[in-house]
Chain A
Amino acid sequence: MAAPLSLEHLTAHYGTTKVLDDLSLDVGAGELVSLLGASGCGKTTTLRLTAGFLAPTAGAIRLGDTDLTRLPAHRRNIGLVFQNYALFPHLSVLDNVAFGLKQRGMGSAERTRKADDMLQRVGLADLAERLPGELSGGQRQRVALARALVIEPQLLMFDEPLSNLDAKLRVDMRVEIRQLQRANGTTSVFVTHDQEEAFSISDRVAIMDAGRIRQFDTPEVLYQRPSNAFVARFVGFENLIPLTSATRQGSIVHAKGDGGISVVLDQEQLGAVPDRFTLATRPDGLRVSPDADAEGIPSTLGLRTYLGRAYHYQAETPAGHLVAAGPLSRPLDIGATARLVPELEQCCILPAEEAP
């Protein structure tokens, strides 16, 4: 039942605007992959192309052994869960769930039994006769899920399915979705703009921007080792520090940048460091040191904000505006000069950015 999905060199246009640019993606059988990105990045377009509501201008879509590219949407056997649930308002919960089975020509008794079983699994058996309008948001979400699962699709796709729920329910539902998906082993694509949601639920995540996939990997790799500046910023590496030369002593690298920037890195921790690169850190990975002649990035501190575990400082440096963390024990004032020292376990090395 589980089939791998493969998107091959998809390009799509809305009118003359290119919204997907030569996108390729492979989702393994039974895997859950999230498409993550801001609105307009092409994630929903990718989903709609796969579902068959849009046609690509170039490229192919394969699911298992079937080429879906030219297949009409209603013959693709893909379960869809919509952002606003898209339940049929004129049909009861049971008829909503049985709808897909009816289209497949299943007899009334059998589809009622199957739909009932499915409602049991999502814990809604006693609401079978209600109309969607009488349900809460979470219940509607479950009906939508049951309706998509009951047709035993080769592929399940979710379009921002949790964004209409409140925060608590959102967390509960994503656990539930993941459990159902695991139990069924259905290949799944999950579209979201919520990073935490994507990382918590997925086997792999594709981070998208401007109609392309910028990086496709496991949540752990994406979070620790982004491969480019876009993904780095996206997962919270706010500080990007360009470095232009490096001298090596064993595994230790001394790297220098403009305006007296000088950092010491350990290749055993960071992997191979090239001569020219960009060092990326999160605010907590850049420590404020009042020690004026130590290695680091010279800076003038600006606004200090209190975050409970540490202070964050807005700092002006030769590498531009950076955010660094300092200990609670020694608050520093606006205007103080300090060195910012990277914490190696919270850094990553990116290829040097092209000169703008």
Chain B
Amino acid sequence: MTGRLHPGLIAFAVLVYIFLMGPLIIVIGSSLSDTTFLTFPPQGLSLRWFERIFEMAAFRRTMVTSFQVATLATCFALIIGIPAAYALNRYRVQLPGWLSTLFVLPILVPEIVLGFSLLRSVQVGAGLPVFSTLLIGHTLLVLPYCVRVISASLASFDFSIEEAAISLGSPPWKTFFTVVLPNVRSGVIAAFILAFITSINDVSVALFLTGPGISTLPIQILAHVEQFFDPVIASVSVLLMFLTVAVMAVVERTLGLTFLTK
């Protein structure tokens, strides 16, 4: 759709985008501050707060944990989500309609309720270790993204291609890897990225599932902000933004950004 837009509308949209970008720019600016308190515009420029992040053991440790959890949870969710998405598309007639709803339940149920319930039943009730419970929570949290994104790319996959491969002598399980997966590659990449970002940014589930010595970066940021108000948080935030930019660059490269409005 193109056509003439009312100048008032355009001005409004410009203001909205300033509103969207402004706070992020302020965070970036604050991270470069030379002072020991948070202020904007920064008084004196330095990168000392970026160095501080890595000097603080709590940030180093939680960064590693967040990375481990995000990677493992995403991989687990893909390992169980890809076959599920495949089944939902390939065996649509034999599977009941509620099954696809089941896989989006983790989005439907409030994250904070999921976190609390996992603490109650799995960590305390079943006595699972903190890290395992956290991993289960995040696998659940990102599963809907994996199933839905891969389902979307399987929806445009023509299953007669799979039959063609089988008729040419390829066993069904092998066909899945040689013919089906290569054709939904972009969906798998997108699912990986969305899941990874969702996991690394999560607060509400991890909130209940961290324990002595095990915490994630966002929880550590929250805890830090409540005690100190120094620019190190701004620096950590900027690091996370860099991660986002890097991810967006990958998405743009492999899929094009219009993918994200679908």
Contact = CB atoms under 8 A, between A and B. Distances in A.
B186 to A, nearest CB: 11
A80 B167 contact: yes
A74 B166 contact: yes
A86 B169 contact: no
A87 interface: yes
B183 A84 contact: no
A280 to B, nearest CB: 39
Interface stretch (B12-20, B129-137, B156-164): B156-164
Interface string B164-190: 111111111001000100110000000
A189 to B, nearest CB: 13
A137 to B, nearest CB: 15
Classify chain B: how many residues form its interface, as a range. 10 to 19
Nearest to A14: B93
A333 B164 CA distance: 58
A79 B172 CA distance: 16
A78 B163 CA distance: 12
Interface string A68-92: 0000111111111011101111100
Contacts of A77: 169
A185 to B, nearest CB: 20
A230 interface: no
B218 to A, nearest CB: 38
A75 B163 contact: no
A104 B164 contact: no
A86 B34 CA distance: 63
A78 B168 CA distance: 7
Nearest to B160: A86
A82 B164 contact: yes
Nearest to A153: B167
Contacts of A73: 163, 166-167, 172
Contact of A151 (B168, B182, B183): B168
Given A88-B161, A89-B161, A100 B179 contact: no
A311 interface: no
Contacts of A103: 168-170
A220 B45 CA distance: 93
Given A88-B165, A89-B183, A74 B160 contact: no
Contact of A75 (B165, B169, B179): B169
Contact of B168 (A72, A83, A89, A99): A99
Contacts of A148: 167-168
A204 interface: no
A147 interface: yes
B160 A88 contact: no
A232 to B, nearest CB: 34
Interface in B211-246: none
A80 B182 contact: no
Contact of A51 (B158, B167, B175, B179): B167
B158 A86 contact: yes
Given A74-B170, A78-B167, A79-B167, 5 more contacts: A73-B167, A74-B175, A86-B164, A100-B169, A151-B168
What 10 A-B pairs have minimum CB-CB distances, sorted nearest first? A100-B168, A103-B169, A86-B164, A80-B167, A86-B160, A90-B182, A86-B161, A74-B166, A73-B166, A82-B160
19 contacts: A51-B163, A73-B166, A73-B167, A74-B167, A74-B170, A75-B169, A77-B169, A78-B167, A80-B167, A82-B164, A84-B158, A86-B160, A88-B164, A89-B183, A99-B170, A103-B168, A103-B170, A147-B164, A151-B168
